Amino acid sequence: MRTLLLTSALICAAPAAFAQTLFLDNATVVDARGAQTQADVIVTDGVISRQGTDLTAPSNAATINNAWVTPGLFAPMSSLGLTDIGSSGPGNDVSSEDSSTNVAEHAADSFNPRSVHIANIRQNGVTHALVAPRSSGNSIFAGTGAIVSLTGEFDSVLNPEAFVMVDLGETGTIRAGGSRAASMAQLRAAIEDADGFFKRYANAPDGGDVLSRQDALAFNRATRGDIPLVIRVNRAADIMRLIEIKGKAKSLDMIIVGAAEAWDVAEAIAAADIRVIVDPLHNLPDTFETAGARLDNVIFLEKAGVDFAISNLTALGVTKPATLNQHAGNAIVEGLSWSDAFTAISSVPSAWFGVTDKTVIVWDGDPLEITSAPISMSINGESQSMTSRQKALRDRYNPKNTDKRPYKYR
Amino acid sequence: MKILLPLVLPVSALAACQGQESPSTESDGSTTAAFQSTYTPQPSTDVLLRNAKIIDGVSNEIREGDVLISGGKIGFVGTGEIPDGIEEMDVKGRFVTPGIIDIHSHLGNYPSPGVRAHGDGNEATSPITSEVFAEHGVWPQDPGFDEALQGGITTLHILPGSANLFGGRGVTLRNTSSHTVQGMKFPNAPYTLKMACGENPKRVYGSKGGPASRMGNVAGYRKNWIKAASYKAKRDKGGDYDRDLQLETLADVLDGKILIQMHCYRADEMVQILDLAKEFDYKVTTFHHAVEAYKIGPELAASDTCAAMWADWGAFKMESFDYINENIPFVHAAGACAMIHSDDANNVQRLNQEVAKAWSDGNRAGLDISKAEAWKWLSTNPAKALGILEETGTLEAGKRADIIVWDGDPFSTLGRPSTVMLDGAILFDKNTGLKPKSDFRLGYADLTEGPK
């Protein structure tokens, strides 16, 4: 009972801990298009209450110089909320090796908004994420992915059926039985199963070539073009095959992820109206299908007019997309403009998935600088906690902590 | 010798020169006689870097000073006697720092492309493989070496993987163009022994005869240190004994010739390992990964044990669940020897950014660490932990001229190396387009042509 009381007291106290008024003296305010203006801003509990020139600091406000105010970041490729630790086992819902379903599996059903990683990652200014499963077994189809906000609340899945996820390239060849020809055959057959759903499955539950009835029904939303088909692919030749497929199945709305060799076919990608999620730090030929990987891949996409988003696509970057700003910032080194870099981790992917949440992040410096961090955040007017499991560990073991009690009592 | 020596060249520089010309055969007698370093510096020109912002790796930041490079060595840092007619390079306002040293790399032994045929980093056939040498699995054509150089990596330490309790010997390499690993070996750098704690050995061997638990891990270390001690006693006595490669490595550790580089995540396990080292009278030089090092900063400081860490990696397995971004600065603040490490072919290309993240998070948590202090995590402390601080790791007169000239601030996302020198030789230069290209890159798309 005593414990219960203590816990509830902490919960009640929590909001007060970050209730605050900030006076941002001569802040840089960034809009959804990435344009910057200078202004004085008053932020109360994470929400902008006034913005103008030569404002006076309210008496109760903490004054901060050189702050930046931006919309929240959107992680364009993640498995947030699907796993506690990366290793396989019951704590990891990223893929389902032994299931008999694929597209019909919704990542949203696995998503845990209370995962400690949600609050950990939110500390980096990330307010929204795409949550994607991974393929396994003998299907190139990983499942149906979700769009979530990082409030940590039970209503934070904004769209549980946001896109269908497919693995092509070397992963796809393993799934399909050993070759690109097999994975492409599986993809084409699945498109026909879903397109011809009513004809094929009406009187025969096993009427499809590669998809079960429930998977074909789930995939049908993507083949109709109601939701995007998100495909992991890297080799330029594979991207060209996808462009051919899209030429025939015109209603498909494709987003390709990885796209290490996209620079080699950037104009064809733009002409086919395919969107791209790219990692601007990928420059090693870590597989033969990424032999052409280069740091300025994203610059080719920008010049060709491709609609692109930026993500950290390494294994760690997908499970914990904490370094979006570092990845976008490095694209500036290659020649991308600040606003293109910033929108590629915020409004661009956010618009792809129709996210309209209003978000405000106050940073202690340029958000694309690795040395900057958020000071306060809000989503739809709700102040977001600036604490997390990582910060609790930090505070407990901080060498500046003068608490001499045994560590479990600090 | 056509290169003019500066008038006052410290004795240590001459000593280092001599060492380089005649590779030593001293340290571990028979064991180092094989696979000797054949590294020779590439040709260099004496040059004076003028008006630089210098971070020297010793703790100093000099707002504006000169660096003399002469005969591949550092002549002076800040101010000194300028030789007549020396070539000058005006680097006004630009940062000049020591070359970065990565103490934990698998470049070459897990190279790109990462096909199975290239997986030469883990001799995962037995938990005890102290007889293997990382250098025998290093492919010098790994394109990752070239990309790392462009990130300012001048020296790197290649370790066997962490599947085994005793994984094998690590090797310290100069990041130079060579078609052999011998041509990259850092002359006279001590060998290291990779050991591993925790989840990896018990996972790999749990169904292959053990160890299957952390108990089994520790028993495995102890059994083999006992064997090593008795082997060493025989060897010390002289006369007849059967040479055993596995025990030879361990006995060399007991003799203090080989430095222990130990993969260990959890605070409690690291302290158990420190006790193990006391039991068998050897030294753990560095804990690698050390995700919970921040919990035992004082213990690390007291035992003079270094920790090589990431800035923000964790929760990819149970033993890394308690990762915090302040790990490096907290260990540093406890007075212990802290450093960054990559363990990754991408991460190694931007270790300065990794340090910048850790540094800023540490200061945000209330510490007050200068850039000049934090720089030690990139070159000074790794050099110390590899036993090569006498020769590199800082900008000090007499040391190898392993130097980065930066575009922008190395503690910014936008700061990138523009010139990288090894022994005074320019091996990467952004402005002239000079950069190494592995054989593997030939015949693939030309990556030099930019977008229209």
Residue A341, chain B, CB below 8 Å: the answer is no
Looking at residue A152, its amino acid is: G
B113/A287 touch (CB, cutoff 8 Å), yes or no: yes
pLDDT computed for residue B440 by the predictor:
97
CB proximity under 8 Å: A 352-371 to B: 364, 368-371
Give the chain A residue nearest B294 (alpha carbons).
Answer: A397
Q: Decide: B404 and B91 in contact? Cβ < 8 Å.
A: no
Q: What is the nearest CA distance from B291 to chain A, expressed in angstroms?
A: 12
A393/B324 touch (CB, cutoff 8 Å), yes or no: yes
pLDDT computed for residue A19 by the predictor:
61
For residue B66, the Cα-to-chain-centroid distance in whole angstroms is 27
Nearest to B144 among A284, A303, A398 (CB): A284
CB proximity under 8 Å: A 54-113 to B: 84-87
Beta strand spans in A133-252 (E): 141-149, 157-167, 229-233
Q: What is the pTM of this model?
A: 0.94
Q: Rounded to whole angstroms, how far apart are CA atoms A185 and B331?
A: 54
B114/A286 touch (CB, cutoff 8 Å), yes or no: yes
Query: pLDDT digit string (tens) for A222-241?
Result: 999 999 999 999 999 999 99
A87/B316 touch (CB, cutoff 8 Å), yes or no: yes
Q: What is the nearest CA distance from A115 to chain B, expressed in angstroms?
A: 12
Contacts of B293 in chain A (CB under 8 A): none
pLDDT computed for residue B11 by the predictor:
34
CB proximity under 8 Å: A 137-166 to B: none
Interface test with A, best of B413, B438, B440, B448 (most A CBs within 10 A): B413
- Helix, strand, or coil here: B262? strand
Interface test with A, best of B116, B145, B321, B324 (most A CBs within 10 A): B324
Give the chain A residue nearest B368 (alpha carbons).
Answer: A400
Residue A279, chain B, CB below 8 Å: the answer is no
Residue A286, chain B, CB below 8 Å: the answer is yes
pLDDT computed for residue A73 by the predictor:
98
Q: Rounded to whole angstroms, how far apart are CA atoms B308 and B104?
A: 8
pLDDT computed for residue A91 by the predictor:
78
Contacts of B450 in chain A (CB under 8 A): 296, 299
Residue A317, chain B, CB below 8 Å: the answer is no
Tokens representing B437 are 């290209």
Instruction: Output phi, psi for A337, to 5 deg.
Output: -75, 160
Q: Decide: B62 and B380 in contact? Cβ < 8 Å.
A: no
- For residues A265-279, one letter each, b for 16 or more C-beta atoms within 10 angstroms of the residue's C-beta and e for the rest, the string is bbebbbebebbbbbb
Question: Which secondary structure element, helix H or strand E, spans residue B95, and what is its range?
Answer: strand B95-98
Q: Rounded to whole angstroms, how far apart are CA atoms A372 and B441?
A: 36
Residue tagged 């490079």 (tokens): B69
Give the pairing of strands B425-429 and A126-131: unpaired
Contacts of A390 in chain B (CB under 8 A): 323-325
Give the pairing of strands A68-70 and A21-30: parallel
Nearest to A264 among B323, B413, B445 (CB): B445
Residue B56: which of B30, B95, B85, B11 has the closest Cα?
B95
Q: Rounded to whole angstroms, how far apart are CA atoms B53 and B60?
A: 11
* Domain B11-441: assigned CATH number: 3.20.20.140
pLDDT computed for residue A409 by the predictor:
96
B315/A319 touch (CB, cutoff 8 Å), yes or no: yes
Interface test with B, best of A289, A397, A401 (most B CBs within 10 A): A397
pLDDT computed for residue A367 by the predictor:
98
B447/A284 touch (CB, cutoff 8 Å), yes or no: no
- Helix, strand, or coil here: A362? strand
Contacts of B430 in chain A (CB under 8 A): none
Residue A267, chain B, CB below 8 Å: the answer is no
Residue A148: which of A116, A112, A123, A124 has the closest Cα?
A112
The tens place of each residue's pLDDT in chain B, 452 residues long, gives 333 333 333 333 333 333 333 333 334 444 446 999 999 999 999 999 999 999 999 999 999 999 999 999 999 999 999 999 999 999 999 999 999 999 999 999 999 999 999 999 999 999 999 999 999 999 999 999 999 999 999 999 999 999 999 999 999 999 999 999 999 999 999 999 999 999 999 999 999 999 999 999 999 999 999 999 999 999 999 988 899 999 999 999 999 999 999 999 999 999 999 999 999 999 999 999 999 999 999 999 999 999 999 999 999 999 999 999 999 999 999 999 999 999 999 999 999 999 999 999 999 999 999 999 999 999 999 999 999 999 999 999 999 999 999 999 999 999 999 999 999 999 999 999 999 999 999 999 888 888 87
Nearest to B451 among A303, A314, A370 (CB): A303
Give B399's contacts (C-beta < 8 A, 6+ positions apart). Answer: B12, B13, B16, B73, B74, B390, B391, B392, B393
Write the DSSP assignment of B295-310 as a string of letters. GSHHHHHHTT-EEEE-
Q: Rounded to whole angstroms, how far apart are CA atoms B261 and B102?
A: 13
pLDDT computed for residue B445 by the predictor:
84
- For chain B, the structural domain boundaries read 11-441
Q: Rounded to whole angstroms, how far apart are CA atoms B171 and B138?
A: 10
Q: Decide: A159 and A146 in contact? Cβ < 8 Å.
A: yes
Give B43's contacts (C-beta < 8 A, 6+ positions apart). Answer: B425
CA distances from B104 to A283, B89, B218, B420 (A): 20, 33, 23, 20
Contacts of A330 in chain B (CB under 8 A): 350, 413
Q: Decide: B381 and B157 in contact? Cβ < 8 Å.
A: no
Give the chain B residue nearest A89 (alpha carbons).
Answer: B317
Q: Decide: A102 and A141 in contact? Cβ < 8 Å.
A: yes
Q: Decide: B54 and B78 in contact? Cβ < 8 Å.
A: yes
Q: Rounded to whole angstroms, how far apart are CA atoms A67 and A62?
A: 12
Give the chain A residue nearest B296 (alpha carbons).
Answer: A397
Q: Decide: B281 and B250 in contact? Cβ < 8 Å.
A: no
Instruction: Output phi, psi for A48, to 5 deg.
Output: -70, 120
Q: Decide: B404 and B152 in contact? Cβ < 8 Å.
A: yes
B357/A316 touch (CB, cutoff 8 Å), yes or no: no
Q: Rounded to whole angstroms, how far apart are CA atoms A105 and A107?
A: 6
Residue B167: which of B140, B127, B205, B139 has the closest Cα?
B127
**Half-sphere exposure in the Cβ direction for B199 (13 Å, CA):** 10
Q: Decide: B254 and B188 in contact? Cβ < 8 Å.
A: no
pLDDT computed for residue B31 by the predictor:
47
CA dihedral B261, B267, B268, B271 (to 10 degrees): 50
Tokens representing A348 are 């661009």
CA distances from A238 to A176, A229, A265, B398, B441 (A): 15, 15, 10, 54, 21
- Helix, strand, or coil here: B241? coil
Q: Rounded to whole angstroms, how far apart are CA atoms B438 and B442?
A: 7
Give me the interface pTM, i.e. the ipTM.
0.94
The tens place of each residue's pLDDT in chain A, 410 residues long, gives 333 333 333 333 344 444 689 999 999 999 999 999 999 999 999 999 999 999 999 999 999 999 999 999 999 999 999 999 987 777 799 999 999 999 999 999 999 999 999 999 999 999 999 999 999 999 999 999 999 999 999 999 999 999 999 999 999 999 999 999 999 999 999 999 999 999 999 889 899 999 999 999 999 999 999 999 999 999 999 999 999 999 999 999 999 999 999 999 999 999 999 999 999 999 999 999 999 999 999 999 999 999 999 999 999 999 999 999 999 999 999 999 999 999 999 999 999 999 999 999 999 999 999 999 999 999 999 999 999 999 999 999 999 999 999 999 99
Domains of chain A in start order, with CATH, are 2-69+384-409 (2.30.40), 72-357 (3.20.20.140)
Write the DSSP assignment of A223-258 as a string of letters. HTTSS-EEEEE--HHHHHHHHHHHHHSTT--EEEEE
Residue tagged 């006995």 (tokens): B251
